[in-house]
Structure 1
Amino acid sequence: MKSLHDMPEGAASASVSLDRLFELAEVLGTLMEHGVAERGLTRARAGLLWALFHDGAMTQRALAGQLGVTPRNVTGLLDALEADGLVVREAHPTDRRAMLVSLTESGRTLTDGLRRGRDALALELFGEMPASQLAAIQDGLETVLARLRAIDRVDG
């Protein structure tokens, strides 16, 4: 196996870039953990609320698919969020076997606060960045994400 020192300059630069992405993921993950914990949530519960905030009411099965978890996992998350008054489950209007999940007013208020926090962080990070630099970052990240998704499809 080659060491980093034996690799061509481009490969070494790519390795450094990946190291920076790992560091970025760790820092953003920590920020997310603190942000949702301040609101009495876990990342999993916040992710479920975020999905409902962006896509509106949906069935438990659709939520499970969107979050990439089992329906049983969604049931546990919903039990806790419903007990906290953040979501409500109601009979689906056209499918007697399904439950439709939606945010309560408290759930919408909480997720709106999460969105405002995200927007404030985005402004702090990117607000003074030249448009061309921001566009380059976005393009580079899109390429990286597409490649990671392709790797995940191959391995998964």
Structure 2
Amino acid sequence: MKSLHDMPDRPVPARAALDRLFELAEVLGGIMQRGMAEKGLTTARAGVLWALFHGGPVTQRALAARLGVTPRNVTGLLDALQEDGLVVRGVHPTDRRATLVSLTHEGRSVTSALRGGRDELAAVLFADVPADQLDTFVATLGLVTERLRAVGADSPE
């Protein structure tokens, strides 16, 4: 895939759409940061809680792989979350060498509250958008997201 810098001049509507995406990312990112900060979370810690909320208990190694971080990094995140009472580490039922990570009751409550905030925001943003327009919007965002991932995968690190 070509890098963004190698693309010929795009038509004005495409540039305007990208400008809107940048604006959306900034506004949405700010809202998300405030919501997480209100719960005492960083983006990385919220990502751990979200992964456990959706995937259930998992080994530390599998959690690190799911999040795309090193096992050492996930250990630091889990230390902080465990200290805050949001996760618990326990013995794996079938592999005594592995540590199983789970959400605590408080961790489930915090994550449910984050999901509730997301659902409320979705209701406010899209309440009066006709279903066919929302379907088109979701499909277009999916296509754009796939293309951004492809561009990002081709970028040197």
TM-score, scaled to structure 1 = 0.90
Deviant stretches of 4+, over 4 Å: none
Alignment of 1:1-156 (within 5 A): 7=9, 11-155=11-155
Deviation at 1:49, TM superposition (A): 0.3
Q: Which amino acid aligns with 1:64?
A: A
Quick one: higher RCO (CA 8 Å, sep 6+), 1 or 2? 2
Deviation at 1:43, TM superposition (A): 1.1
How many Å separate the matches in 2 of 1:20 and 1:153? 23
Per-residue CA deviations over 1:35-72 (Å, capped at 9, x if unaligned) read 01001111111111011001101111111111111111
Q: Which runs of 5+ in 1 are unaligned?
A: 1-5
How many Å separate the matches in 1 of 2:63 and 2:25? 24
Deviation at 1:117, TM superposition (A): 0.5
Q: Which amino acid aligns with 2:127?
A: G
How many Å separate the matches in 1 of 2:74 and 2:65? 10
How many Å separate the matches in 1 of 2:124 and 2:19? 23
SS at match of 1:117: helix
SS at match of 1:90: strand
TM-score, scaled to structure 2 = 0.90
SS at match of 2:11: helix
For the aligned residue pairs, the C-alpha RMSD in angstroms reads: 1.4
How many Å separate the matches in 2 of 1:61 and 1:11? 46
How many Å separate the matches in 2 of 1:87 and 1:104? 5
Deviation at 1:83, TM superposition (A): 0.5
How many Å separate the matches in 2 of 1:93 and 1:147? 41
Deviation at 1:79, TM superposition (A): 0.3
Deviation at 1:16, TM superposition (A): 1.0
Q: Which runs of 5+ in 2 are unaligned?
A: 1-7
SS at match of 2:90: strand
Deviation at 1:119, TM superposition (A): 0.2
Deviation at 1:149, TM superposition (A): 1.8
How many Å separate the matches in 2 of 1:61 and 1:20? 38
How many Å separate the matches in 1 of 2:28 and 2:68? 21
Deviation at 1:154, TM superposition (A): 2.5
